Amino acid sequence: MSTRRNFLKLSAFTAGLFTINKSKAIENIARSNAKQIKPVVISTWSHGMAANEGAWKVLSSNGTALDAVEKGVMVTEDDLTNLSVGLGGLPDRDGHVTLDASIMDEKGRCAGVAFLERIKHPISVARMVMEKTPHVLMVGEGAQKFALDNGFKLESKELTPEADKAYKEWLKKSEYKPVINIENHDTIGMVALDAHGNLSGSCTTSGLAYKMHGRVGDSPIIGAGMYVDNEVGAACATGLGETVLKICGSYQVVEFMRQGLSPEEACKKTVERLIKKSPNYKDVQVGFLALNKNGEHGAYSLQKGFNYALYTPENGNKLFDAKSFI
């Protein structure tokens, strides 16, 4: 009995400590509110430059972060020369382009679509799932039917000439050996803070080139490829999705920021966590981006070669190299 009483006392004490720590961390983030940078948008890889321009049109006219992160990545989805996002993407090993995307707003509303074929803007389908259904994830034929029922058009199933050429070349050996930074870790992930001080995030990809038919990566999974907590910050991921899924990567970045870490430290600690859990980490590339409630940003990747585009009112739109573990 007395042991139980002690246990209860201890639990109450620990819970109290946790509440104090948690509110201290959030206070830390809020304290520098005076120098809050907004609006701001950050997105993965060099294709983030054009995507940021799309997002900035919304952000600079007082629009919402949610509209900005949708419109921003639609620019990349529209670009049929892009081999890793949208319908111009490299196919799976059976020759199908299958798309994954997710979106999340400041109210914690969110949704993803996965294994979606022949739809130009999976990010907008994800947004429609979020806004029009009680669901958080829709996949495959069901997601495509939902899109078509809601006014999306069925696009051709032909590969673009560039993707077709690359696929035919790959078929000669049919080996699955991703080459770091080349084959094919170029999802677009985007997080933004709008002029009203609200955060949102988006993520869209054709996934790993030559993946198995039916494979789904981290990008459409809330908390893995992207996550937003309007009290704290937002994060997104790119790279080998399987490794990001195993550690709920973007959620982990946000949770590290909640504990008071800067966005860059939070990305770095998450990469370190991923390394611990991935024995083959030397053959893997993963990069994280983060933005906190004050508009401070950070990035970190496992290997060299990850870059990101940052658009702020002071410095305009610029491409930066992320620091890396290796």
Catalytic residues: 187
Taking CB under 6 A as the criterion, the residue among 67, 77, 218, 255 binding ligand ASP is 218
Min separation Cβ 88 and ligand ASP, Å: 14
x/- string (CB under 6 A) for ligand ASP, residues 71-90?
Answer: -------------x------
Min separation Cβ 247 and ligand ASP, Å: 13
Taking CB under 6 A as the criterion, the residue among 102, 202, 205, 252 binding ligand ASP is 205
Min separation Cβ 134 and ligand ASP, Å: 26
192, 39 Cβ separation under 8 angstroms: yes
C-alpha span between 116 and 240 (Å, rounded) = 19
For the chain, report the end-to-end CA distance as a whole number of angstroms.
53
**Phi-psi category of 196—alpha, beta or left, where left has phi over 0 and alpha has psi -120 to 50?**
alpha
Phi and psi angles of residue 200, each rounded to the nearest 5 degrees, phi first = -145, 165
C-alpha span between 180 and 302 (Å, rounded) = 10
Q: Is 98 in the site for ligand ASP (CB under 6 A)?
A: no
Min separation Cβ 211 and ligand ASP, Å: 7
264, 323 Cβ separation under 8 angstroms: yes
Amino acid (1-letter code) at residue 88: G
- C-alpha dist (Å) from residue 282 to 164, 238, 263, 275: 30, 16, 24, 9
Count of other CB atoms within 10 angstroms of residue 98: 24
244, 229 Cβ separation under 8 angstroms: no
- Angle at CA 154, nearest 5°, toward 239 and 69? 45
Min separation Cβ 186 and ligand ASP, Å: 5
Q: Is 208 in the site for ligand ASP (CB under 6 A)?
A: yes
Taking CB under 6 A as the criterion, the residue among 89, 241, 263, 295 binding ligand ASP is 241
Stretch touching ligand ASP by CB under 6 A, among 20-28, 114-122, 137-145, 184-192: 184-192
- Angle at CA 164, nearest 5°, toward 99 and 142? 25
Taking CB under 6 A as the criterion, the residue among 86, 112, 239, 249 binding ligand ASP is 239
C-alpha span between 166 and 81 (Å, rounded) = 12
Question: For ligand ASP, which is the closer residue by CB, 70 or 218?
Answer: 218
Min separation Cβ 136 and ligand ASP, Å: 18
- C-alpha dist (Å) from residue 44 to 41, 188, 222, 311: 11, 5, 17, 12
Question: For ligand ASP, which is the closer residue by CB, 29 or 248?
Answer: 248
Taking CB under 6 A as the criterion, the residue among 187, 230, 250, 303 binding ligand ASP is 187
Q: Closest Cα to residue 263, out of 224, 289, 225?
A: 289
Stretch touching ligand ASP by CB under 6 A, among 135-143, 180-188, 192-200, 316-324: 180-188
| Residue 297, helix vs strand vs coil | strand
Stretch touching ligand ASP by CB under 6 A, among 22-30, 214-222, 254-262, 272-280: 214-222
Taking CB under 6 A as the criterion, the residue among 52, 219, 230, 312 binding ligand ASP is 219
Stretch touching ligand ASP by CB under 6 A, among 21-29, 118-126, 147-155, 236-244: 236-244
Q: Under rule CB under 6 A, how many of the chain's residues touch ligand ASP? A: 14
Q: Is 186 in the site for ligand ASP (CB under 6 A)?
A: yes
Min separation Cβ 126 and ligand ASP, Å: 15
Which residues in this chain contact ligand ASP in the complex, by CB under 6 A?
84, 185-187, 205, 207-208, 217-219, 238-241
